[in-house]
Amino acid sequence: MLAGAPKFRRRKADRPGEIVQAALQVFSEKGFAAARLDEIAARAGVSKGALYLYFETKEDLFRAVVEQAIAPNIQAVRAMIAAHPGPFADLLRLVPERIAGLLETLPVGGVVKMVIGEAGNFPELARVWHDRLVAQALGAMTDAVAAAQARGEVKPGDPRTYAMQLIAPLLVGVIWRETFVPVGAAAFDVAAVARQHVETMLGGMLAEGARS
Amino acid sequence: MLAGAPKFRRRKADRPGEIVQAALQVFSEKGFAAARLDEIAARAGVSKGALYLYFETKEDLFRAVVEQAIAPNIQAVRAMIAAHPGPFADLLRLVPERIAGLLETLPVGGVVKMVIGEAGNFPELARVWHDRLVAQALGAMTDAVAAAQARGEVKPGDPRTYAMQLIAPLLVGVIWRETFVPVGAAAFDVAAVARQHVETMLGGMLAEGARS
Amino acid sequence: MLAGAPKFRRRKADRPGEIVQAALQVFSEKGFAAARLDEIAARAGVSKGALYLYFETKEDLFRAVVEQAIAPNIQAVRAMIAAHPGPFADLLRLVPERIAGLLETLPVGGVVKMVIGEAGNFPELARVWHDRLVAQALGAMTDAVAAAQARGEVKPGDPRTYAMQLIAPLLVGVIWRETFVPVGAAAFDVAAVARQHVETMLGGMLAEGARS
Amino acid sequence: MLAGAPKFRRRKADRPGEIVQAALQVFSEKGFAAARLDEIAARAGVSKGALYLYFETKEDLFRAVVEQAIAPNIQAVRAMIAAHPGPFADLLRLVPERIAGLLETLPVGGVVKMVIGEAGNFPELARVWHDRLVAQALGAMTDAVAAAQARGEVKPGDPRTYAMQLIAPLLVGVIWRETFVPVGAAAFDVAAVARQHVETMLGGMLAEGARS
DNA sequence: AATGAATGAGAGTTCATTCAT
DNA sequence: GATGAATGAACTCTCATTCAT
């Protein structure tokens, strides 16, 4: 490093980001009400007062956490929506595994727990999650199923229900990891679940003539 | 007033039960920390002090709520486990619909939300739920799947994963109702989901020779 | 006292009244912002939390203090207004002394200090004091002066200003007692000031023909 | 840029003075405790930290404000004291109007409000105001009255009380302006009050033989 | 000299818990 | 058993003060 390089200096670059990170941890462990600002501040490595330099209230911080946790997932959903329009079986074999990958990468587990647990106290956050993320993803899947049905690839049946059937085990796998694994339950390998589930579902969804 | 007339007197028969009922409502709406004993007492129609005649602490009441919410479900699981050992397809066509019926009858939605949301704060309750209910139900399903595989009725594949695949959409339907329907999302008809899901899964699970 | 008389029992009769009393002391010593609820509670002999059984916020308590301090004075002003319509000199010799008596009886000094000091932060309280008390009293005096002028008893001049001239030394006497006496200044005997002031003012106000 | 050019540079000539000015505004609007250093700094056009370059603490700044607000008034009182020793009536006709002029010129209203409102919390400031300003002025008036009594110009009576009677309406006029005019009350024209009051008081104070 | 991000003690407020009645 | 007024510990939030830059 050259002379004149920034010496040891307090990085104030991404204080808000660090705080949101810490808050995500604590909120998803404890829920909104049981989370203490002391602990969030301590994990972020700042004083309690510093939180108020960036967020007006505890609720404000909570909202920031939940909302910013949507962003990376939206990218993923967009990518999925833009997926190639090949045969339905190909699409299906691709998508759930991709989702499984995301679920293991992003800290989505904790956030899902928070959204479910606090939906009653923060309905507007449940709405944001639904409108911007969940409904988008479910809608994209539904459209793909309906298109495949129109092409005669998929048996009759409610396409939105088909879409939900496809996603549900992945979601349950994540919730399971958050809820029961910490108390000793065996985890589900979400990727493995995805593979087996796609094959099973394909077996039940594909029309006779479309069998690979 | 006449002697022996059935006095219009408040039944104090099942005070604890009424309190647990009220507490179930409030806890499942708000979560543990945000629930206020004032409100529970008000909904139960008793004074705040009266709660302490039956429960030592707020946590104690919460535990009572979560634990007693297991009981009726355990019955259902027992019944399911005892189900007749006919062909797998028959069993499957029976079980999920029965579960769907339970999910709509019992106030299981709110409890599921609570258990998920408070698992971090009350791990022992998550454990109780897992050990006494979830693992039992999943284990029973797993055994049935494995048995059917042994009889050659069901394709190879991880039986525990199959079991989870079968249940997941029902669970997601319930969570969806608790989380997103109140903010305007369209509900899933859990019974209809169950019917479609069983047919789809059967299509993918049954071995060639076992097709009905 | 007969048997069955109430034994030693916690008087919960006038808790709010006792709290307001204590709050009046502390608020008038410290002002609104510097007053601490701890101290108010301590002086009222209750816990800090008990304040919130009767008042929603600190502001709420402050308002209650300032508003209830108006009531007894209003009585006095009413009585003064109803004063007999004899010659102006008789009226005047009566009124200021009566006011002086009130000023020494009621804890009006501290309240006046509060109203002046917090008028900027609680304008609605200044308004209430003005409308319900100060303007009433000043208006009554003004009317009496104007009536005496109409009868030719009092020299020309702005009657509202005359009214204020008459009251001002009493008010200053009270403010002086609150502000400078505690730091060593000699007090003014408000009653003596009232007597001397009335005579002086009468000497300057009465028309030639009305001299006694 | 040219050498010697009058750089467009912020005058840092009288930073302390500007800060005290700003602090005077805020303290007299809000009182000591409710005033925020943020706001004082903002109004002074400096950073919050800069305040501490000139004043050790908030109290220190407050003291500076109250003390420096005395200075200009002291000049006025000195001038009044040095007033010519003509007939009492001439003196009196001169002095109150001069005071009225001062009261409208200097920001004395806000300071008076502060001194009254914070006397309980800062008794030493009340003492400074009393000793250096109020007692001086009152003493000078008292001496003038006593001298006039000795010359037979003024009727018997307590000279200190006479002095207070003379000043009181002016003070009340100023307090009224600070307290009740902002909430809609009609103001008093302090100069007009002074004129009428002097004439009224002279009518009551002058001995028979001294009537002009 | 000057900044303003950061601190932390202290305030108002809430609410599970107690206890005299 | 039953009440509800009362408690006090613990929380969120504020703001005078500090200090690295």
Residues 101-160 on chain D lying near strand F, CB distance under 7 A: none
Whose tokens are 């023909």? That residue is: C209
The predicted pLDDT at position D106 comes to: 81
The overall average pLDDT reported for chain B is 88
Q: What is the pLDDT of residues B29-67, one digit of tens each?
A: 999 999 999 999 999 999 999 999 999 999 999 999 998
Distance from CA of C137 to the nearest CA of D (A): 14
- How far is Cα B148 from Cα B154, in angstroms, rounded to an integer? 6
pLDDT (average), residues A100-112? 83
Q: Which residues of A115-134 are buried (b: 16+ CB within 10 A; e: fewer)?
A: bbbbbbbbeebbbbbbeebb
| pLDDT above 70 for B94 | yes
Closest by CA to D117, choosing from C110, C170, B49, C126, is C110
Predicted pLDDT of residue B13: 65
Instruction: Give the separation between CA C57 and CA C36, rounded to whole angstroms.
Output: 12
CA distances from A83 to A65, A78, A144 (A): 29, 9, 10
Which of D140, D160, D212 has its CA nearest to residue C197?
D160
Nucleotide whose C1' lies closest to the alpha carbon of residue B52: E17
Alpha-carbon gap, residue D203 to A5, rounded angstroms = 85
| AA identity, residue A114 | M
- Give the residue from D185, D17, D179, D163 showing the smallest Cα distance to D110: D179
Inter-residue contact D136 to D74 (CB < 8 Å): yes
Q: Can you tell me the distance from the alpha carbon of B44 to that of A39, in angstroms, rounded to the nearest whole number?
A: 35
- Whole-angstrom Cα distance, residue D7 to residue A167? 69
**The pLDDT of residue C83:** 65
Q: CA-to-CA distance for B189 and B197, rounded, in angstroms?
A: 12
More confident residue, A99 or C195: C195
Q: Which of B117, B167, B171 lies nearest to residue A113, judging by beta carbons?
A: B117
A188: helix, coil or strand? coil
Among chain B residues, the shortest Cα distance to A193 is held by B161
Angstrom distance (rounded) from CA C201 to CA C197 = 6
What distance in Å separates the CA atoms of residue B68 and residue B96, rounded to the nearest whole number?
23
Distance (Å, rounded) from C-alpha A212 to C-alpha B56? 63
Higher pLDDT, B11 or A16: A16
Band of residue D5 on the pLDDT scale cut at 50, 70, 90? very low
User: What pLDDT, in 10s, does the model give residues C5-22?
Assistant: 333 334 566 889 999 999
What six digits make up the tokens of B6?
A: 């059935």
One-letter amino acid at D82 equals A
What b/e sequence results for C140-168 when a residue is b if at least 16 CB atoms lie within 10 Å of its CB, and e otherwise?
Answer: bbbebbbebbeeebbbebbbbbbbbbbbb
Encode burial over B34-57: b for 16+ CB neighbours within 10 A, e otherwise: bbebebbbebbebeeeebeebbee
- The rounded Cα B35 to chain-centroid distance in angstroms is 21
For chain C positions 55-74, those within 8 Å of chain D (CB to CB) are: none
- Cα distance from C193 to chain D (closest Cα, Å)? 6
Q: Do the chains contact at D168 and C164, CB–CB below 8 Å? A: no
The two structure tokens encoding residue D194:
């002074």
Confidence of residue C84 (pLDDT cuts 50, 70, 90): low
Q: Please tell me which residue lies nearest to nucleotide E15, judged from CA to C1'.
A: B36
Q: Is the CB of B59 under 7 A from strand E?
A: yes
Mean pLDDT of chain D: 88
Range in A91-100, C51-60, C122-131, D173-182 the model is least confident about: A91-100
Residues of chain B contacting residue A203, judged by C-beta atoms under 8 Å apart? 203-205
Confidence band (pLDDT; 50, 70, 90) for D4?
very low
In whole angstroms, give the CA distance from residue D23 to residue D37: 8
The angle formed by the CA atoms of residues C24, C29 and C32, to the nearest 5 degrees, is: 70
Taking only the tens place, the pLDDT of each residue in B163-203 is 999 999 999 999 999 999 999 999 999 999 999 999 999 99
Pair A107, A22: CB distance under 8 Å: no
Residue B117 structure tokens = 């949301």
Q: In Å, what is the CA distance from B179 to each residue of A74, A161, B110, D17? A: 19, 17, 10, 60
The pLDDT assigned to B72 comes to: 83
First to last CA, chain A: 59
For chain C, how many residues are written? 212
- Neighbouring residues of B48: CB distance < 8 A, sequence distance ≥ 6: B37, B38, B41
Smallest CA–CA distance from D125 into chain C, residue:
C183
Q: Is the pLDDT of residue B211 over 70?
A: no
B151 touches strand E (CB under 7 A): no
For an interface test with C, give the residue of D172, D189, D202, D208 to mutate (most C CBs within 10 A): D172
Tokens 């008596």 belong to: C101
- Check if residue C4 sits with its Cβ under 7 angstroms from strand E: no
Q: Apex CA C89: angle with CA C84 and CA C93, to 5°? A: 80
- Chain B hits for A30, CB-CB cut-off 8 Å, are 120-121
D175: closest CA of chain C, how far (Å): 8
Considering only residues 16-75 of chain D, list those whose CB is below 7 Å from strand E.
46-50, 52-53
How far apart are alpha carbons A204 and A193 in whole angstroms? 16
Residue D21, pLDDT score: 93
F6 C1' to C50 CA distance, Å = 6
Distance from CA of B83 to the nearest CA of A (A): 24
Q: Select from D87, D96, D77 the least CA-distant residue to D200.
A: D96
Residue A70, classed as helix, strand or coil, is coil
Percent of chain A residues topping a pLDDT of 90 = 69
Q: Residue with CA nearest E14 C1'?
A: C49
Give the confidence band of A79 by pLDDT, cuts at 50, 70, 90.
confident
B12 pLDDT higher than 80: no
Least confident of B73-87, C58-72, D2-16, D71-85: D2-16
Give the per-residue pLDDT at B1: 41
Average pLDDT, chain C: 88
> In this predicted structure, which of A153-157, B132-136, C42-46, C200-204 has the lowest mean pLDDT?
B132-136
- Residue D26: the pLDDT is 96
Tell me which of A80 and D135 has the higher pLDDT. D135
What's the CA gap between A143 and A156, in Å, rounded?
14
Instruction: Report pTM.
Output: 0.89
Nearest 5°: CA angle at A10, between A6 and A14? Answer: 100
Q: What is the pLDDT of residue D6?
A: 42
pLDDT of residue D211: 66
Helix ranges (H only) for D13-158 are 15-30, 37-44, 48-54, 58-68, 71-81, 88-105, 108-118, 123-129, 135-150
Residue with tokens 């806000």: D110
> Is C122 an interface residue toward D (CB < 8 Å)?
no
Say whether the CB atom of B37 is under 7 angstroms from strand F.
no
Nearest CB to D121: which of C31, C180, C197?
A: C31
Nucleotides of F under 7 A from a protein CB: 1-9, 11-21
- Flag whether residue D145 sits within 8 Å of chain C, measured between CB atoms: no
pLDDT at D169 (0 to 100): 96
| Residue B93 banded pLDDT, cuts 50, 70, 90 | confident
Question: Cα D36–C27–C182 angle (5° rounding)?
Answer: 100
Domains and CATH numbers, chain B: 7-210 (1.10.357.10)
Tell me the C-alpha distance between B137 and B113, whole Å.
18
| Residues B200, B202: Cα–Cα separation, whole Å | 5
C182 contacts in chain D (CB < 8 Å): 119-120, 123, 126
Residue corresponding to tokens 């634990």: B67
pLDDT tens, D190-209?
A: 999 999 999 999 999 999 87
Cα distance between residue B26 and residue B48, in whole Å: 14
